[in-house]
């Protein structure tokens, strides 16, 4: 769940290889809408590996609070890994191959991140997903992300794969219009949300994170959102 922005219009998504979900043994899958589902605790078996990946990424590209084009500082701290990273500043929202803070390429996408996203997308019915970007979000108690849609990518036929680690959160999942009714969906450690096809440009957000402590992440929630950006 990537950016805080309002977009007047975007091309309609064209689905790639959307078909019946390939459900892995033991996966608890919950439908949110056509093209959108939650895979409960899908990432939990490799949570330590994912956390180590986040630590390696932030050692090279630390978390930062980016500024929106309107001059507001985002409550959620962010960084990136992969060939492209999502950035926002006074010049607008976009993907960039270099970290604007260091001038260096973003850290490489860890294989554990890529493989998890491919498996999750396949389980949700998107069989040819190959991510090239991952936005890493850090929420502390009180941080929230307002309703937005992910529309800076080139190919809306590719899904978004969002991984939750650490403190629980309430995910808001709406519709094609910002004013559409939203579902309030509790997300726990290890849950993965996948949306694409007819739901690819649906609005979504996160309510303010509540206080807590998690054994893996401490007093925070880490969110990995993997996508095909280029």
CATH (domain of 188): 2.60.120.590
Give a yes or no: residue 223 inside a domain.
yes
Give a yes or no: residue 201 inside a domain.
yes
**pLDDT per residue as tens digits for the range 128-177:** 999 999 999 999 999 999 999 999 999 999 999 999 999 999 999 999 99
**pLDDT per residue as tens digits for the range 13-27:** 544 444 444 446 568
- Taking residues 213-223, report their average pLDDT: 98
Give a yes or no: residue 4 inside a domain.
no
Give the predicted TM-score (pTM) of the model. Answer: 0.89
Give a yes or no: residue 6 inside a domain.
no
Give a yes or no: residue 143 inside a domain.
yes
The domain of 70 spans 28-227
Give 93's pLDDT tier (boundaries 50, 70, 90): very high
Give a yes or no: residue 130 inside a domain.
yes
Number of domains in the chain: 1
**pLDDT per residue as tens digits for the range 97-134:** 999 999 999 999 999 999 999 999 999 999 999 999 99
Give a yes or no: residue 213 inside a domain.
yes
**pLDDT per residue as tens digits for the range 38-73:** 999 999 999 999 999 999 999 999 999 999 999 999
pLDDT of residue 27: 81
pLDDT of residue 101: 97
Rounded (5°) CA angle 110-187-220: 65
Give a yes or no: residue 13 inside a domain.
no
């Amino acid at each position: 769940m990537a950016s805080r922005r309002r977009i007047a219009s975007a091309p309609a998504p064209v689905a790639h290889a959307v078909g019946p979900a390939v459900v892995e043994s033991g996966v608890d899958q919950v439908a949110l809408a056509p093209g959108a589902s939650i895979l409960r605790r899908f990432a939990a078996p490799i949570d330590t590996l994912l956390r180590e990946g986040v630590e390696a990424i932030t050692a090279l590209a630390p978390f930062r609070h980016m500024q929106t084009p309107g001059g507001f500082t985002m409550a959620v701290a962010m960084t990136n890994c992969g060939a492209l990273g999502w950035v926002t500043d006074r010049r607008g929202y976009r993907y960039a191959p270099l970290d604007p803070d260091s001038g260096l390429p973003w850290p490489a996408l860890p294989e554990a991140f890529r493989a998890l996203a491919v498996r999750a997308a396949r389980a949700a019915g998107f069989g040819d997903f190959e991510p090239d970007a991952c936005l890493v979000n850090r929420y502390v108690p009180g941080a929230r992300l307002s309703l937005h849609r992910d529309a800076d990518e080139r190919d809306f036929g590719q899904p978004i794969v969002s991984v939750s680690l650490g403190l629980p959160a309430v995910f808001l999942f709406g519709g094609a219009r910002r004013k559409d009714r939203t579902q309030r969906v509790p997300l726990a450690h290890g849950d993965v949300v996948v949306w694409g096809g007819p739901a690819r440009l649906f609005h979504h957000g996160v309510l303010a994170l509540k206080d807590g402590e998690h054994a893996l992440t401490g007093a925070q929630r880490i969110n990995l959102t993997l996508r095909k950006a280029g």
